[in-house]
Amino acid sequence: MTKRTLDGFIPSDLLHDIARLNPNASLSFIATILETQKIAQAAASGRIPYRFAAGKAERQIYDAKNTTRLPGTRARFEGDKATGDKTTDNAYDYHGGMRDFLKQEFGWNSIDGNGMNLVGTVHYGRNYNNAFWNGSSMTYGDGDGVIFVTFVTANVVGHELAHGVTEHTSGLDYYGESGALNESFSDVMGACYEQWLNKETVDKAHWLIGKGIFGPTIKGVALRSMIAPGTAYNDPKLGKDPQPDHYSKLYRGSGDNGGVHINSGIPNKAFALFANAVGGHSWKEPAHIWWESNCGTNRVTGRASIADFARKTVENCNTMAPALVAKLKKAWDDVGIKV
């Protein structure tokens, strides 16, 4: 099994592209790549230098104070008053919101289902251009202030914490199509969480992942668009969004762990189309069908293909909301997967 330990929220392939396209700023992006790899290697080998008790699903936010020492200094724990530091307080609020979303909507107790504390570290490193889940806690850089300006947003937090949920449920292999499903499930949960926070109906939602992370000079609205994959950004500093929106355009190379971030656009669009066809709130029937298919008792295996996942969602939809099956099949058909 290929566990998700290599990349943070910003794929390493994109960080390499940015370093290549921006010689004057390349050092900070190369440093981000190397630092993320170091953390990934430590996590993969079990050498995480700190451990946390299972706890009671409590928030514990630390401040690295621009060092790379983890977890950092205690900043705001469950029940503490606001610190006045926007990044710290947002992390505290978004971690708590995701905890409440998982509990209220899916009956899931924190990340592991057993009350794991929600631990996060903010202000990691200097100009660190990423956020990541390492199997134990969340870590957020502040960005370089030009290309990336923050990583503490609702759907980034939701996305990364959802990777922890997948680790404790289906364990989708982090390579190829199963890896794309792993990334896509996190996008789905991140988007639904943000819509839940804002009480948005599907027709009012922007369906963007990473909205707000780019600086004001960047020609891009987000890192990914679920409703229109391939259109999120197009800027000389980044290149163009590479996501396909149809299975016939599937990336089949070895980069990006076999296209885990690139090909996630295909199941992402299927979910967005389905949710919009159903109407109302995405976190109701659409998200519950996706949840059951990845985390429930009738879920896919770790090596699932996109077609395997599509079949599983239809199977679960037949049980959970049979009136919606035709809409679900059409959504998958529209992205090139016939069920």
β pairing state of 59-63 and 118-122: parallel
Q: Mean of the pLDDT values across residues 51-73?
A: 87
Q: Is 160 designated active site?
A: yes
Q: How far apart are CA 100 and CA 88, in angstroms?
A: 19
Q: Is 168 annotated in the active site?
A: no
Q: Domain 181-334 class?
A: mainly alpha
Going from N- to C-terminal start, the domains of the chain cover 12-167, 181-334
Cβ-contact 151, 132 below 8 angstroms = no
pLDDT digits (tens, 9 = 90+) for 261-296: 999 999 999 999 999 999 999 999 999 999 999 999
Cα-flanking dihedrals φ and ψ of residue 19, to 5°? -60, -40
Q: State the pTM of this model.
A: 0.96
pLDDT confidence bin for 235, thresholds 50/70/90: very high
User: Quick check: 184 and 65 in contact, CB under 8 A?
Assistant: no
| Catalytically annotated residue among 261, 281, 285, 288 | 261
- pLDDT digit string (tens) for 74-120? 999 999 999 999 999 999 999 999 999 999 999 999 999 999 999 99
Q: How many CA atoms lie within 13 A of 264 on its CB side?
A: 26
Active-site pick, 58, 160, 167, 183? 160
Q: Specify whether the CB–CB gap between 268 and 222 falls below 8 A.
A: no
Amino acid identity, residue 151? F
Mean pLDDT of the chain: 94
Share of the chain above pLDDT 90, in %: 86
CA-nearest of 223, 58, 259 to 143 is 223
3-state helix, strand, coil in the chain (%, to 5): 45, 10, 45
Query: How far apart are alpha carbons 130 and 222 in whole angstroms?
Result: 14
Per residue in 5-50, pLDDT (tens digit) is: 446 899 989 999 999 999 988 888 999 989 888 877 776 666 655 5
- Domain at 12-167, CATH class: alpha beta
